[in-house]
């Protein structure tokens, strides 16, 4: 089963609104990363948060990490139509050099 599970599976909002996506995982991690994928294209790295960090910002993105709850959230503020994409969380486990384990993603639609 997937290590990371995003919620919701799909989200539709109006331009200008904030979008929040959540990710839960099962085992302890070294870091957690968020990626964006436009339809049928390659993934684009958005932000990496380490297990000893609680919050990180990048432009209109804010990521939080709660290791006690094994969860992370991605907030996109003042959304734009161009933010329409699928968003994936990916975890790097603590157990040695394991590759990224991706969730199934949240499909975000921002309506102009």
Partner 1 sequence: DSGVTQTPKHLITATGQRVTLRCSPRSGDLSVYWYQQSLDQGLQFLIQYYNGEERAKGNILERFSAQQFPDLHSELNLSSLELGDSALYFCASSVDWGLAYEQYFGPGTRLTVT
Q: Which residues bind partner 1 (CB under 8 A)?
A: 2, 30-31, 33, 35, 40-45, 48, 50, 88, 92, 97-105
As a whole number of angstroms, the distance between CA 23 and CA 79 comes to 19
In the complex, the smallest distance separating the C-beta of residue 45 from partner 1, rounded to whole angstroms, is 4
Least Cβ distance, residue 15 to partner 1 (angstroms) = 26
Nearer to partner 1, 15 or 37 (CB): 37
Closest distance to partner 1 from the beta carbon of 30 (Å): 5
Question: Read out DSSP for 17-86?
Answer: S-EEEEEE-SS-EEEEEEEEE-TTS-EEEEEEEETT--EEEETTEEEEEETTTTEEEEEE-S--GGG-EE
For the bound state, the minimum distance from the C-beta of residue 109 to partner 1, rounded and expressed in Å, comes to 18
Decide if 62 contacts 75 (C-beta within 8 A). Answer: yes
Using the minimum distance from each CB to partner 1, give the nearer residue, 33 or 71: 33
For partner 1, the closer of residues 9 and 18 by Cβ is 9
Q: How far apart are CA 70 and CA 91, in angstroms?
A: 11
Nearest to partner 1 of 54, 111 (CB atom): 54
């Amino acid at each position: 089963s997937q290590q990371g599970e995003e919620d919701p599976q799909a989200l539709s909002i109006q331009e200008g609104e904030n979008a929040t996506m959540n990710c839960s995982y099962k085992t302890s991690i070294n870091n957690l990363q968020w990626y964006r994928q436009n339809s049928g294209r390659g993934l684009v790295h958005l932000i990496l948060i380490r297990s000893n960090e609680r919050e990180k910002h990048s432009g209109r993105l804010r990521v939080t990490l709660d290791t006690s709850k094994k969860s992370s959230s991605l907030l996109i503020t003042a959304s734009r139509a161009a933010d329409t994409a699928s968003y994936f969380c990916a975890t790097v486990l603590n157990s040695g050099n394991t590759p990224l384990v991706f969730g199934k993603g949240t499909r975000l639609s921002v309506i102009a």
